[in-house]
């Protein structure tokens, strides 16, 4: 049985879909459905059952699960809000809970894949190379909580037996419940439908034009295919970047959304809120040598093709809304 934490969330539910497509339904969903619409992400998925994260942790610690029950642990559950200010909440969800999952997996020699984040790289002063994950300087507490766990894995020598995935800007179906943390692709589609134009942040530093800020965007379908390869190939070990290796402008995103909708572009620039200043990444681009030189190497879709698939086959088609 493959256990997936955060399995009703964005990436988690898409990965459950990938597992189903590969013929696996012996899956334990570990998540708290709470009061949002993430339950929709599980509709049509095939799995054995659902457990609350705290119940799963307790059963693991009490010896109710071992390698005869759990054959792989995919740990994607976390607080993913980059604007969350409650440091203790982030520590409990992203650091301490992750420690418990790693200790269980390592004690029973169970394959362990977990979600880190490109937010650990901060402003990119030290680059975006996954060759070293020690001493990075995240810009927010979310990134720091992920950095703390990465370093804990390394210090304890667990990184050589596990795979930590530094996700860059993932977008795609099943992110609908994420509110402010949903991708700009999803928000842009909603803006065009509601008001006919897309609003992007104006730049407040001279190196970047308005809408010229750059990120490494990766389609969730590509991300899940890579995770499937990692699960089967068990490579590359350690902490690994998962982007495309191609930084693209926010303007490229906006133009691609308009093109997918068959509409003329109308982009308007708004001032960045004070709450984001000093915590905003103007540029990210994953160094992809570690992944692409491994048996989990992947050919990624171009941004325009990914956005077209998302908009046309999911956002516009309500029958395919939940991947």
Contact criterion met (CB below 8 Å) for 156 and 304: no
Q: Which helix (H) or strand (E) holds 308?
A: helix 303-310
Return the closest-CA partner of residue 63 out of 111, 28, 5, 107: 107
Question: Does residue 128 carry a catalytic annotation?
Answer: no
DSSP 55-107: HHHHHHHTTS--TTT-SEEEE--S---TT---HHHHIIIIIIHHHHHHHHHHH
Cα dihedral: 302, 305, 308, 313 (round 10): -120
Per the annotation, the verdict on 263 as an active-site residue is no
The answer to whether 129 and 291 are in contact (CB under 8 A) is: no
The dihedral of CA 120, 222, 181, 280: what is its sign? positive
Catalytic annotation, pick one of 65, 97, 114, 142: 142
Cα-flanking dihedrals φ and ψ of residue 253, to 5°?
Answer: -60, -50
**Catalytic choice (59, 178, 234, 259):** 178
Task: Judge whether 5 and 50 are in contact, CB under 8 Å.
Answer: no
- Catalytic residues, which ones? 142, 178
């Amino acid at each position: 049985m493959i256990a997936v934490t955060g399995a009703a969330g964005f990436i988690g539910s898409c990965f459950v879909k990938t597992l189903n497509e590969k013929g696996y339904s012996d899956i334990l969903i570990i998540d708290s459905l709470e009061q949002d619409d993430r339950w929709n992400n599980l509709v049509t998925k095939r799995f054995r059952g659902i457990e609350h994260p705290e119940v799963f942790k307790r059963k693991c610690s009490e010896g109710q699960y071992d390698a005869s029950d759990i054959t792989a642990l995919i740990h994607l559950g976390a607080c993913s809000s980059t604007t969350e200010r409650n440091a203790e909440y982030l520590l409990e969800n992203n650091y301490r809970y992750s420690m418990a999952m790693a200790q269980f997996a390592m004690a029973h020699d169970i394959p362990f894949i977990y979600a880190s984040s490109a937010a650990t790289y901060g402003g990119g002063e030290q680059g975006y190379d996954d060759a070293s994950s020690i001493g990075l300087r995240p810009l927010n507490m979310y990134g720091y909580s992920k950095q703390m766990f990465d370093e804990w894995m390394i210090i304890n020598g667990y990184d050589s037996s596990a795979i930590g995935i530094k996700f860059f800007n993932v977008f795609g179906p099943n992110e609908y419940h994420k509110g402010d943390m949903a991708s700009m692709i999803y928000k842009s589609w909603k803006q065009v439908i509601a008001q006919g134009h897309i609003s992007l942040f104006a730049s407040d530093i001279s190196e970047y034009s308005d809408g010229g800020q750059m990120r490494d965007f990766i389609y969730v379908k590509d991300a899940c295919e890579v995770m499937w390869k990692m699960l089967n190939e068990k490579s590359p070990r350690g902490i690994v970047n998962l982007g495309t290796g191609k930084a693209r402008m926010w303007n490229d995103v906006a133009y691609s959304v308009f093109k997918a909708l068959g509409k003329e572009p109308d982009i308007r620039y708004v001032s960045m809120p004070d709450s984001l200043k000093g915590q905003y990444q103007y540029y990210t681009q994953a160094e992809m040598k570690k992944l692409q030189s491994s048996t989990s190497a992947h050919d990624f879709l171009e941004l325009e093709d990914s956005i077209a698939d998302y908009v046309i086959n999911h956002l516009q088609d309500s029958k395919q809304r939940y991947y």
